[in-house]
C-alpha cells in the first residue's frame, strides 16, 4: 500500500502543475506505453533471440546475425525510452515536494496577514520557479520523444522482415535467418511509432500552452503592479490635499 500511496502522490503533484494536455500525455504514457508493454509486449518479445533461426549450424553465426538484425531489442528500446521519459518528471516532482511545504506555510502566513511584501514576493518567485522548471521538463520530454521516435525509425523502419540475409563472420556463406512472428511485431512497431508521434505532438502543444499562459500571467501581474502604484499615488495625493487644502 505504501508504494501505491507514493504513486498517487506522485501523480497528484504532476497533475497539479500540468494543463489538460499534459494530463492526456500522462494517460497515454501509463496506458498505451507502460501497461501494454508490461502485459502484452513482454510475452511477445521474451523469446525473440531464442526463436531467431538461421539455416546453418556454424557456431556463433546465429548470434552475430541476430546482433546485426537487432542492435537493440524492441522491448529493451521501449523500456529504455520509458525510463528516460520518467526521469525529468520524477526530478520535477521531487523538487515540487521539497518546496511544497515552504509554499504552503507562506500562503498560510499571507492569509493570516502576518507576512510582509517580501514574503509575498518570495512565494511568487518560488511558484514562478516551479513553472520554469516544469517548462524545462516538458521541453526536455519533447526532445526525448522526437529523438526516440526518429531513433526507432532509423533502427527498425516500419516493418519487421520475416527473412534476414546475413554474411557476417563466422558464417561460412550468406545464410538466411528467420524472425518469429514478424507480422505481430510489425503491428506493435507501428503502434509504438504512432504513440511516439502522438506523445510528441501532445508535448509540443503542452509547451506552447504553458508558455502562452505564463506570458498572460506576466501581463496580468504587470497590470496589477500598475494598479497598485496608481492606487498608492492616489492615496498620497489625497493625504496631501487633506493636509494642505488649496
- Is 65 within the bounds of a domain? no
- Is 97 within the bounds of a domain? yes
**Predicted local distance difference test score (pLDDT) of residue 191:** 92
Positions in the chain whose pLDDT score sits under 50? 1-7, 115, 221-227, 230, 236-237, 239-241, 243-244
Comparing CA positions, the residue from 41, 113, 23, 129 lying closest to residue 81 is: 41
3-state secondary structure of 116: coil
- Is 191 within the bounds of a domain? yes
Domain of residue 134 covers 2-50+74-158+180-243
- Overall number of domains in the chain: 1
- Is 170 within the bounds of a domain? no
- Is 56 within the bounds of a domain? no
- Is 212 within the bounds of a domain? yes
- Is 172 within the bounds of a domain? no
**Predicted local distance difference test score (pLDDT) of residue 151:** 92
Residue 44's DSSP bridge partners are none
Q: What is the CATH number of the domain that holds 43?
A: 1.20.1440.80
- Is 87 within the bounds of a domain? yes
**Predicted local distance difference test score (pLDDT) of residue 146:** 93
CA-based torsion, 29, 33, 34, 39: positive or negative: positive
**Predicted local distance difference test score (pLDDT) of residue 223:** 43
CA 240 to chain centre: 57
Amino acid at each position: 500500500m505504501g508504494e501505491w500511496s507514493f504513486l498517487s502522490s506522485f501523480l497528484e503533484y504532476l497533475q497539479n502543475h500540468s494543463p489538460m494536455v499534459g494530463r492526456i500525455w500522462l494517460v497515454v504514457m501509463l496506458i498505451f506505453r507502460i501497461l501494454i508493454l508490461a502485459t502484452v509486449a513482454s510475452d511477445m518479445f521474451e523469446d525473440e533471440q531464442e526463436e531467431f533461426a538461421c539455416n546453418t549450424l556454424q557456431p556463433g553465426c546465429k548470434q552475430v546475425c541476430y546482433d546485426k538484425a537487432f542492435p537493440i531489442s524492441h522491448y529493451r528500446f521501449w523500456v529504455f525510452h520509458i525510463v528516460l521519459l520518467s526521469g525529468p518528471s520524477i526530478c520535477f516532482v521531487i523538487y515540487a515536494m521539497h518546496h511544497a511545504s515552504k509554499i504552503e506555510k507562506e500562503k498560510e502566513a499571507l492569509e493570516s496577514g502576518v507576512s510582509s511584501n517580501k514574503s509575498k514576493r518570495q512565494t511568487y518567485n518560488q511558484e514562478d520557479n516551479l513553472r520554469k522548471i516544469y517548462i524545462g521538463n516538458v521541453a526536455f520530454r519533447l526532445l526525448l520523444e522526437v529523438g526516440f521516435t526518429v531513433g526507432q525509425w532509423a533502427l527498425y523502419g516500419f516493418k519487421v522482415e520475416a527473412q534476414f540475409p546475413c554474411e557476417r563472420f563466422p558464417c561460412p556463406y550468406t545464410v538466411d535467418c528467420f524472425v518469429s512472428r514478424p507480422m505481430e511485431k510489425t503491428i506493435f512497431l507501428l503502434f509504438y511509432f504512432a504513440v511516439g508521434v502522438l506523445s510528441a505532438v501532445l508535448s509540443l502543444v503542452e509547451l506552447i500552452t504553458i508558455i502562452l499562459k505564463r506570458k498572460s500571467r506576466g501581463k496580468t501581474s504587470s497590470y496589477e503592479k500598475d494598479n497598485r502604484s496608481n492606487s498608492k499615488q492616489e492615496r498620497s495625493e489625497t493625504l496631501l490635499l487633506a493636509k494642505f487644502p488649496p
